[in-house]
Amino acid sequence: MPRYRALIAYDGTDFLGWQVQPGRRTVQGELEKAVNRMAKDPDPALKVHGSGRTDAGVHALGQVAHFDLPFAIPEEGVRKGLSTMLPYDIEIKQIQRVDDDFHAQYSAHTKTYRYRLTNREFRDPFRRNYTGYWPRRLDVAAMQMAIGDYLGEHDWQSFAAAGYQAKTTVRTVTRANLEQVSEDELIFEFTGTGFLYNQIRIMVGVLLEIGMGSRSVHDIPRLLAAKDRQQARLTAPASGLYLKSVDY
């Protein structure tokens, strides 16, 4: 069966995350409905495989997924057909025909996440669903000094959500950057060979504690060495997190 790779953006606000769940509105669920309608409801039902899950409220600028169709359709036809059938909070940015051995999850090399944070006294109505919100004053220079300690290969056990199960918690972060993009907004970006469940939001939470002075600017190496989830206290809100891109 011909295989297609899709580059997808979505506003996660009104989704219960990426993964199909019976009776819940999810991104994968909406995509599978559209792909099956395009293929005229074949039996068995066609599946859409993403590069990985995103949580409820988490957004994507460049999620990647693949699916097979029972017959070949030109790329532009697939893109327009799906775009017409999908709800307005999902966008198909690109469709490419790919080889049978391409797999959105297993072929992925690195992923880049962005985290947008609003730092002001009260929420901005227009950013409430698109940024995390933090009312306390932050020492951005201290956070920028600390963020480099995330770089490299580490065991991220201290940064995994409680109850998280994985064969290994060793991952490599190749880029970690924090920029103040306006008077009241910060943007964090992290690139790596994969991230544990909630890892980015916990990494941001630790930086917020450093920015408030409730954690030392040199604490990250100690925290990594501790391999203990109890040590990292804050998980930054889902609304600020974006899967920016997946590289193959």
Q: Does 147 bind a copy of itself (CB under 8 A)?
A: no
User: Least distance to a copy of itself from the beta carbon of 111, Å?
Assistant: 20
Which amino acid does the sequence have at 218?
H
Q: Are 9 and 60 a contacting pair, CB within 8 Å?
A: yes
The position carrying tokens 């495989």 is 49
* Integer Cα distance of 230 and 171 in angstroms: 20
Instruction: Give the residue, chosen from 100, 101, 109, 126, that forms a contact with a copy of itself under the rule CB under 8 A.
Output: 126
| Site residues (CB under 8 A) for a copy of itself, limited to 48-67 | 59
Pick the catalytic residue: 11, 55, 68, 219? Answer: 55
Instruction: Examine the residue annotation and report whether 55 is marked as an active-site residue of this protein.
Output: yes
Among 128, 136, 175, 222, binds a copy of itself (CB under 8 A): 128
- Stretch touching a copy of itself by CB under 8 A, among 96-104, 123-131, 202-210, 228-236: 123-131
- Measured from the CB atom, the residue of 194 and 237 that comes closer to a copy of itself is 237
Is 67 in a helix, a strand, or coil? strand
Q: Which is nearer to a copy of itself, 18 or 150 (CB)?
A: 18
Residues contacting a copy of itself: total by CB under 8 A:
18
Could you give the 3-state DSSP secondary structure of residue 58? coil
User: Which residue, 65 or 90, has its beta carbon nearer to a copy of itself?
Assistant: 90
Sign of CA dihedral 164, 106, 206, 152: positive
Of residues 69-108, which lie at the interface with a copy of itself (CB under 8 A)? Answer: 83, 88-92
- Least distance to a copy of itself, CB of residue 187, Å: 15
> Which span (9-17, 139-147, 194-202, 220-228) binds a copy of itself, by CB under 8 A?
9-17
Q: How far is CA 77 from CA 40, 87, 92, 173, 215, in A?
A: 15, 18, 12, 38, 53
Are 34 and 96 contacting, i.e. CB atoms less than 8 angstroms apart? no
Q: What is the DSSP letter of 135?
A: -
H-run or E-run covering 223: helix 219-226
The answer to whether 26 and 17 are in contact (CB under 8 A) is yes
Residue ranges for the known binding site are: 113
Q: Which residues bind a copy of itself (CB under 8 A)?
A: 9-11, 59, 83, 88-92, 121-126, 128, 130
